[in-house]
């Protein structure tokens, strides 16, 4: 085995995995606070990619600069979706119903995107998308580095918000126990709405990087959501740190196996790890038993 190729695979895995982690963080945040499994997260990532595409192709706005528009836009989309559809879900079947409702939302958005942009695959273009720099004989693409820095920055901002602000304390209290949080005066519904908005907003950044590193159309969302769900299950549903670690672990492991052994086994190897972890820790790497029960 070529050691340079192996090192390259690890670097690729860490850089790409961080972007998956960012997308999955939104999903796990939403589940942790609201007990909602948002299977529309995949199509929302693609929506974010298409928004960046529209701004770039039609207005010449740089992909990263465009995030100043797409992130708030998707935050508002998240708020609207939560208020219109998810806030109405009540009772013990709420989590199961959320899968159906968000799947329906996903289908509607997919249909709309197909109508507006057609099913022909597109990719985001900018100077840094295809360019790279060399270091110790390995070429590293700028877009992966920029994507990693963006993901790291946003995850850090999310961390600061969660652990250094009053609102973050409200979120953490809701994550731990919604009933107790409500009893101490936290407006759990408001926290849930904003959390859903934040969870959707991060898809704008994830979608932009995904669209710059992959050709996509609306149907790409199905591949994405399956990977995102697997990440949060491995990391522990509701755990932000777990999503980060699982995202990086998944892509890095797949890349290493693809290079060192065979691409055929790359995805299977990850699922083997997933089964082993879940056998030993049914709640995932960092999940709490209560989070799964909720």
Q: Which residues bind another protein (CB under 8 A)?
A: 2, 4-5, 8-9, 12-13, 16, 110, 114, 118-123, 125, 129-132, 134, 139, 141, 213-220, 222-224, 227, 251, 254-256, 258-259, 262-264, 266-267
Comparison of 167 and 222: residue with beta carbon closer to another protein: 222
Please, what is the minimum distance in Å from the beta carbon of residue 124 to another protein? 11
Residue 268 beta carbon to another protein: minimum distance, rounded to whole angstroms:
8
Dihedral angle computed from the Cα positions of residues 141, 250, 98 and 152, in that order, rounded to the nearest 10 degrees: -50
Give the alpha-carbon dihedral of 283, 286, 292, 294, to 10 degrees: 160
Q: By three-state DSSP, how is residue 187 classified?
A: coil
Residue number, 82 or 110, with CB nearest to another protein: 110
The phi and psi torsions of 238 (rounded to 5 degrees) equal: 100, -5
Cβ neighbourhood burial of 40 (10 Å; 0-12, 13-18, 19+): buried
**Of 92 and 127, which CB lies nearer to another protein in the complex structure?**
127
Is residue 119 left, alpha or beta, with left meaning phi > 0 and alpha meaning psi from -120 to 50?
alpha
CB 17 within 8 A of CB 251: yes
Output the smallest distance, CB 223 to another protein, in A.
5
151 vs 227 by CB, closer to another protein: 227
Minimum Å gap between C-beta 37 and another protein is: 21
Smallest gap from Cβ 135 to another protein, in A, equals 13
Cα torsion 14, 18, 21, 23: sign = negative
């Amino acid at each position: 085995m070529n050691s340079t190729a192996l090192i390259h695979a690890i670097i690729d895995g860490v850089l790409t995995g961080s972007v998956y982690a960012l997308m999955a963080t939104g999903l796990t945040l939403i589940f942790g606070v609201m007990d909602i499994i948002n299977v529309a997260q995949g199509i929302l990532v693609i929506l974010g990619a298409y928004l960046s595409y529209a701004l770039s192709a039609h207005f010449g706005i740089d992909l990263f600069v465009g995030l100043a528009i797409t992130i708030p836009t998707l935050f508002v989309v998240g708020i609207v979706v939560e208020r219109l559809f998810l806030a109405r879900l009540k009772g013990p079947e709420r989590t199961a119903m959320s899968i159906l409702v968000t799947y329906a939302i996903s289908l509607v958005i997919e249909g709309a995107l197909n109508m507006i942009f057609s099913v022909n695959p597109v990719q985001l273009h900018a100077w840094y998308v295809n360019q790279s720099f060399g270091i110790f004989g390995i070429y590293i693409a700028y877009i992966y580095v920029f994507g990693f820095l963006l993901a790291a920055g946003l995850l850090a901002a999310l961390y600061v918000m969660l652990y250094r602000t009053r609102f973050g304390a409200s979120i953490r209290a809701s994550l731990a126990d919604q009933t107790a949080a409500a009893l101490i005066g936290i407006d759990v519904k408001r926290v849930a709405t904003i959390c859903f908005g934040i969870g959707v907003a991060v898809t704008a950044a994830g979608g932009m990087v995904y669209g710059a590193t992959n050709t996509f159309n609306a149907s790409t969302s199905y591949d994405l959501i399956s990977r995102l769900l697997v990440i949060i299950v491995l990391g522990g549903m509701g755990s932000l740190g777990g999503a980060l670690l699982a995202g990086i672990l998944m892509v890095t492991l797949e890349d290493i196996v693809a290079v060192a052994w065979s691409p055929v086994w790359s995805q299977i190897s990850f699922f083997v790890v997933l089964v082993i972890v879940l056998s030993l820790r049914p709640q995932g790497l960092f999940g709490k038993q209560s989070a799964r029960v909720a």
